[in-house]
Amino acid sequence: MISLSQVRASTNRIVVLGNHEGIIQSILDFDYLSGQKEGSIVGIVTGRHGFAKYFFARREILIPTWAIIPNLPRIHNTNYWFFNNYSGRRTLSSTLDLLTSNNSPLKPPFVGGVIFAEGVPELHSLQIIAHNKTLIIGPASVGLIVPGVLKLGAIGGITPAQIDEGKLTEPGHVAVISGSGGMTNELIHVAIAAGHRLSFALSYGGDRFPILSPHDAFLLAESDPETRVVLYYGELGGEDEYELVQLQAEGKFTKKVVAHIAGTVASLFPESPQFGHAKAKADKAKTTALAKRAALKDAGFQVSNSFAEFIRLVNKLK
């Protein structure tokens, strides 16, 4: 799997599967505001050959549209990424095509990508996980951002004002990790309002089987020399937080974490309700929000009892 240091040290180019005008334009706006001389998107797979009109600053540009991905040139120090905007039904076939058919000398392998679709069948996610050796984030992910370097998805907003106000082109030392797309953006806002800047941010997705697990997202942060602190937002359901505790116990994760685990209200019901994300339901005592908060606190993580307290903890970071 590619490291964040390698991402920062390279040129990054993106192939988009399916047209999403707002997200595509936001990536181009990010590229321009980051001082890049050209947009990072090299083509859009739409099922037909032609061109799509977009803007790079005030200049109108044409991005090639393809029926299928053509042979892409191997360029020294260039990473190819994908943003998969296809429906959940088409996610498996389109992603496996990228992972298995782009290893010839004429088709450079993709180093990773983002799957935007919700509702990807769980069996399909597991099949992608079995084939994957790259940095793929999702399904149901708003994306990955490395400030000033790479914006892969809707993460951080899709207007120039959101990119500018979010300081998404200014690198820093705070990472944001969450399954929730909305809360990923909220944590970015909290960090920036407290005067911090991001080293990276990602939403691994709200499905039961994210291709990049929280465990691997934390290892990504651990290996990143620019990341000093991780802001993490989790939920009731699943046992991801116990894997994070184990990482720290084994000495594989050493950085400061400020965490909030949502869903304590579920303990007021006779049976735990299903919340918005597929995994957000506590089916046993250790998967409740209260139990996971306690486990993280016992391991030495900073854990808030309310989101207001989470904001106060972030404001105290140096």
Q: Summarize pLDDT for 109-119 with one digit per residue, the tens.
A: 899 999 999 88
- Per the listing, tokens 């964040």 go with 4
Residue spans of alpha helices (H) in the chain = 4-8, 21-33, 88-101, 122-131, 160-165, 181-193, 214-222, 240-249, 289-298, 307-316
Nearest Cα residue to 157 out of 117, 197, 184: 184
Q: Could you tell me whether strands 135-137 and 150-153 are parallel, antiparallel, or unpaired per DSSP bridges?
A: unpaired
| Residue 176 domain-assigned (yes or no) | yes
Is 128 among the domain residues? yes
Of all residues in the chain, the percent with pLDDT exceeding 90 is 79
CATH code for the domain of 12: 3.40.50.720
174, part of any domain: yes
Specify the number of domains making up the chain: 1
Sheet holding 302-303, edge to edge: 150-153, 143-146, 198-203, 174-178, 229-235, 256-262, 302-303
Residues catalogued as catalytic: 277
Domain holding 148, by residue range, is: 4-227
For 54-72, write each residue's pLDDT tens digit: 999 999 999 999 999 888 8
Residue 184 lies in a domain: yes
Q: What is the mean pLDDT of residues 12-35?
A: 97
ω into residue 139 within 30 of 0, thus cis?
A: yes
User: Do the domain assignments include residue 232?
Assistant: no
| pLDDT mean across residues, the chain | 92
pLDDT tens for each residue of 212-221 = 999 999 999 9
Ordered strands of the 11-17 beta sheet: 50-56, 59-66, 41-45, 11-17, 78-84, 112-115, 135-137
